[in-house]
Amino acid sequence: MGHPVGDASETVLCCDMGGSSLRVGLVDRRGDVVATAACALTLTVDSHGQSEVDPNLWWQAFQDLVASLAADNPDLLRTVAGVSICGMTRTQVLVDEEGSAVRPAITWRDSRAGIEAADLAAAHDGESIDAFHPVARLAWIERHEPEIFAKARFVVDPKDYLAVKLTGRAASDKISLARLLAVTGGEGALSRFCSLLPQLVEPSAMIDHVGAGLPQPLDALAGCPVFMASNDTWTAVLGLGALRPGMAYNIVGTSEVLGLVSSRPAVAQGLMSVDWGLGFHQTGGPSQNGADVIPWLSRACGVDRQDMAVSFSGLLAGERHPQPVLFLPFLQGERVPYWDPDLRGAFLGLATGHGPTDLAWAVLEGAAFSARFVLERAEAAAGEPAKEIRFGGGGARSEAWCQVRADVMRRPVVVGACDEPGLLGCAAVAWTGLGDYASLAEAQETIARPSRRFEPRPDRVDDYDALYAVYKDAVPAAAPIAHRLATMRTAKGLAVPASSS
């Protein structure tokens, strides 16, 4: 790019694709974010549990955001020494030999493949296969769209699709495709899907260089090395400084993900155990729900979308009723630790004295109870408690959310100086790949800088312990009712016309 190695003005172009937004940023070698741009993404789920997105929308959004950076400062792209992309995983993009998508991507919210999951689980004695499993979704396409399935050459993650468009090369990493790798090896019935796996490289490895002939302003990046990174969780954990044994991480975006990092594998019921490389293993996994419960509740309370964040803070500032409300946060089913698409949310203990403030606090607390349940199971499997919880994502921007997590989970919660841990993790990968750091561990020490620390408050933890005990009883008690409701459909004619009242 015309800059000597070690030029202080150099940056890396980082991209973090989450469920609700796509963010790009230019980050220097010390982890300072020079410029950012972001746009909203939408993942919808229809009445049949299907959630699809045209991956070319992601590619166009990426181009638009890079163009936005260039428009603000035309010289910025000349500082780019490398590119690194992370993104949501458990979202399948099928591409042909040329790297073009052969159908819309099936997102992590999709639960259509229940029948295929049951069939595959019966034939596979090993990792649990459910409707959210990538191999179940591939089997669904194979069964229902055989002509499209025959056109597919590779299955990749969203981040890999952007890298394909930049470089022309399909590749991924073992961390992102861990669930698919776990069931397609060997000579069993599922090995037929193994041929769809692209080349797998390490997160800090270079995939290839940005190709020539891309549209403006991406043509200015031609020749730049593109580095793999990994899924958004792994990369954000690196950006939070939590990729080290004994650390827990909790990232709250559209969905929530939590886990414990250890130096040896640990197996816990309902949790994912993944080799994260570098001698690290994680025990935990993704929820199906997260910070999107806040806009849901805000809309339900009649809050205008433009003022949602401010208005939700206003709800929290109101007076609470002394009798608590308990919230089960399963608005879209649940993944860890239940892997049950038919779980449903509920408010329990409602009385006439309760109002929007009680519901708002119950939402924050219910999500924290769910996270505590996962962490306790991970700690029991690993045989050691977490030293602290590194907290990131949109939830980390709220002091109320951070403090509730510390109080409920009885662990210190630490927030980074930068509220874009995904971009920082991408930067650590790129600068390590470029040779500025000898290892990802060294890059993490410099780039991931903690800022705020929230300690559990002694006057709150006992009350939360008591409410958490109720939560643990409530989930299995409410599950059968949720399952019955999830399969019911009410005829439109049951609604009483206003004129008849």
Residue 67 lies in a domain: yes
Q: Are residues 304 and 443 in the same domain?
A: yes
Q: Are residues 301 and 218 in the same domain?
A: no
pLDDT in tens, 320-376: 999 999 999 999 899 999 999 899 999 999 999 999 999 999 999 999 999 999 999
**Strand order from edge to edge, sheet including 21-27:** 33-40, 21-27, 11-17, 80-87, 225-227, 206-209
Residue 2 lies in a domain: no
Q: Are residues 378 and 462 in the same domain?
A: yes
Name the percent of the chain lying above pLDDT 70: 94
Q: Is the pLDDT of residue 128 over 90?
A: no
Q: Which of these three, 195, 211, 230, is where a domain ends?
A: 230
Return d(Cα 427, Cα 444) in angstroms, integer: 10
Structural tokens at position 344: 């449903």
Mean pLDDT of all residues in 445-451: 94
pLDDT in tens, 160-213: 999 999 999 999 999 999 989 988 876 677 888 999 999 999 999 999 999 999
pLDDT in tens, 389-415: 999 988 898 999 999 999 999 999 999
Q: Are residues 247 and 333 in the same domain?
A: yes
Tell me the residue type at 468: Y
Specify the pLDDT at position 306.
Answer: 56
DSSP 108-167: TT--TTHHHHHHHHHH--SS---TT-HHHHHHHHHHH-HHHHHH--EEE-HHHHHHHHHH
Q: Are residues 192 and 253 in the same domain?
A: no
Return d(Cα 316, Cα 364) in angstroms, integer: 10
Q: Which of these three, 184, 208, 230, is where a domain ends?
A: 230
Return d(Cα 130, Cα 492) in angstroms, integer: 32
Place of tokens 């229902």: 144
- DSSP annotation of 107 reads P
Burial 42-70, CB ≥16 within 10 A → b, else e: ebebeeebbbbbebeebbebbbebbbbbb
Q: What value does the mean pLDDT of the chain take?
A: 92
Kindly report the pTM of this predicted structure: 0.88
Which CATH number does the domain housing residue 340 bear?
3.30.420.40
Q: Are residues 149 and 257 in the same domain?
A: no
CA-atom Rg of the chain in angstroms: 23
CA distances from 258 to 237, 311, 367, 378 (A): 10, 27, 11, 10
Residue 493 lies in a domain: no
Q: Are residues 252 and 223 in the same domain?
A: no
User: What is the residue range of 121's domain?
Assistant: 11-230
Residue 176 lies in a domain: yes
Return d(Cα 341, Cα 347) in angstroms, integer: 19
Residues 6 or more apart whose Cβ sits within 8 Å of residue 1: 78, 79, 80, 81, 221, 223, 224
Q: Which of these three, 230, 263, 298, is where a domain ends?
A: 230
Tell me the residue type at 178: A
